């Protein structure tokens, strides 16, 4: 199994080009199921989750021009097999995003219930409830969701909880429904806005994406389009935290500071000097970081996907910080691994209290999920001596060539078998 080996203690200097956003690409790929015509998507990162999603769409009958590099062209003119089997869904929960498009276009779908996710429960009941309100008949048998609908109808749907994939699934389904669908208490993430832009380019009529009410006027069919994926705000944030923790000066290209205001505010609080323009961010870290308290919450508040990285920063910052996780009930698993590196962290319920120490110690650690693995990379960069990170397949789900990009900044990091 592959691992990363890091020699810590180097500050970071140079520039990095940010990849397209994983969390935007996955629903965009599923949007191809809504039309018989082709969809071209640019700025696609090479990631494990995207390869899995492409395999799933191919199995359903979608033609994909391969091998993909930074652009993918999909054509779902013939949907021969509207099924998402357990083998694929268990490795990537975003596979649930095929449910809405399949029902809207093919009138049927059979999707495995997502398996357990290490960071906690992510119920799909909101997806099911919404599609039923639009006229779908849904049953759950033997671990599979079986859904049919002759023709989906517009409906007013109020989400019980804010759900990103639930919002995306129902938004896609509603594009081909009869009449108007109003979605209330929806997620406001930039990735949802990106999906709405793409669907509108395909001929959909969606208004309100980015607010908590989205209105979709159904149309009879969607057509071909071309769309460029937004930059990955979590990859952007991860590099900014790495440079704030390790010290140095970095330029990030092909990114957008407006996507992560809450993160930038916390980095400035930690002592970073940041300036930005339309598609770049420059960060300089002249001093040792100061500790920062934070509390995760749905967008536009502080993202849960950046919590683990800030934990590593706080480990060597001046002072004591409290990090409160409100989104996922099991998203503090990186604490035990950071403690192996001599971090001073105590967990109380959904909060972690971190007392900064002068230096972490390099150690042999294990990645438990995608963002936890990023926090261990940052910890390895700032630790004394060598850090070995096992199970980095988690990292490859969401970061394109992270060791190559960090090496270009002067980090001593390599991949080994």
Question: In Å, what is the CA distance from 244 to each residue of 38, 312, 314?
Answer: 43, 11, 10
Q: Which two tokens stand for residue 188?
A: 């406001």
Phi, psi dihedral angles at 63 (to 5 degrees):
-85, 130
Terminal Cα-to-Cα distance of the chain (whole angstroms):
6
User: What CA–CA distance (Å, rounded) separates 297 from 269?
Assistant: 19
3-state secondary structure labels for all residues of the chain: CCEEEEECCCCEEEEEECCECHHHHHHHHHHHHHCCCEEEEECCCCCHHHHHHHHHHHHCCCEECCCCCCEEEEECCCCCCCEECHHHHCCCHHHHHHHHHHHHHHCEEEEECCCCCCCCCCCCHHHHHHHHHCCCEEEEECCEEEEECCCCECCEEECCCCCHHHHHHHHHHHCCCECEEEEECCCCCHHHHHHHHHHHHCCCEEECECECEEEEECCCCCCCEEEECCECHHHHHHHHHHHHHHCEEEEEECCCHHHHHHHHHHHHHHCCEEEEECCEEEEEECCCCECCCEEECCCCCECHHHHHHHHHHHHCCECEEEEECCCCCCCCCHHHHHHHCCCEEEEECCEEEEECCCCEECCEEECCCHHHHHHHHHHHHHEECEEEEECCHHHHCCCCCHHHHHHHCCCEEEEEC
Question: Do residues 233 and 260 lie in contact, with contact meaning Cβ atoms separated by under 8 Å?
Answer: yes
Place of tokens 């999920």: 369
The residues with which 205 forms a beta bridge, in sequence order, are: 217
Q: Which residue has the tokens 């799933």?
A: 56
Q: Hey, which residues are catalytic here?
A: 117
């Amino acid at each position: 199994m592959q691992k990363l080996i890091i020699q810590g203690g180097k500050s970071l200097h140079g520039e990095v080009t940010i990849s397209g956003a994983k969390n935007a690409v996955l629903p965009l790929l599923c949007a191809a199921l809504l039309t018989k015509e082709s969809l071209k998507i640019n700025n696609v990162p090479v990631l494990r989750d995207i390869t899995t999603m492409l395999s799933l769409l191919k199995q359903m009958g979608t033609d994909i021009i391969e091998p993909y590099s930074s652009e993918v062209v999909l054509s779902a003119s013939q949907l021969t097999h509207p099924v998402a089997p357990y083998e694929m869904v268990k490795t990537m929960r975003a596979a649930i995003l095929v449910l809405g498009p399949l029902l809207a276009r093919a009138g049927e779908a059979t999707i495995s219930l997502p398996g357990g996710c290490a960071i906690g429960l992510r119920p799909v009941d909101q997806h099911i409830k919404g599609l039923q309100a639009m006229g779908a008949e849904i049953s759950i048998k033997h671990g599979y969701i079986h859904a049919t609908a002759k023709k989906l109808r517009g409906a007013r749907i109020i989400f019980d909880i804010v759900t990103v994939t639930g919002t995306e699934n129902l938004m896609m389904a509603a594009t081909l429904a009869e009449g108007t669908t109003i979605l209330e208490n929806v997620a406001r993430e930039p990735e949802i806005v990106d999906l709405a832009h793409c669907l509108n380019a395909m001929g959909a009529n969606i208004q309100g994406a980015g607010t908590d009410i989205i209105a979709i006027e159904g149309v009879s069919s969607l057509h071909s389009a071309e769309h460029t994926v937004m930059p990955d705000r979590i990859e952007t944030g991860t590099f900014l935290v790495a440079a704030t923790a390790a010290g140095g000066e970095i330029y990030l290209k092909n990114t957008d500071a407006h996507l992560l205001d809450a993160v930038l505010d916390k980095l400035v609080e930690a002592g970073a000097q940041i300036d930005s323009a339309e598609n770049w961010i420059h960060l300089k870290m002249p001093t040792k970081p100061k500790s920062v308290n934070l509390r995760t919450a749905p967008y536009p508040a502080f993202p849960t996907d950046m919590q683990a990285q800030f934990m590593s920063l706080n480990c060597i910052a001046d002072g004591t910080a409290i990090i409160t996780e409100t989104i996922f009930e099991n998203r503090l698993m990186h604490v035990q691994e950071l403690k192996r590196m001599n971090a001073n962290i105590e967990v109380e319920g959904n909060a972690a209290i971190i007392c900064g120490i002068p230096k972490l110690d390099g150690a042999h650690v294990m990645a438990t999920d995608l963002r936890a693995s990023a926090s261990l990379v940052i910890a390895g960069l700032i630790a004394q001596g060598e850090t070995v990170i096992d199970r980095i397949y988690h990292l490859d789900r969401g970061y394109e060539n992270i060791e190559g990009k960090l090496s270009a900044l002067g980090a001593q990091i390599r991949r080994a078998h």
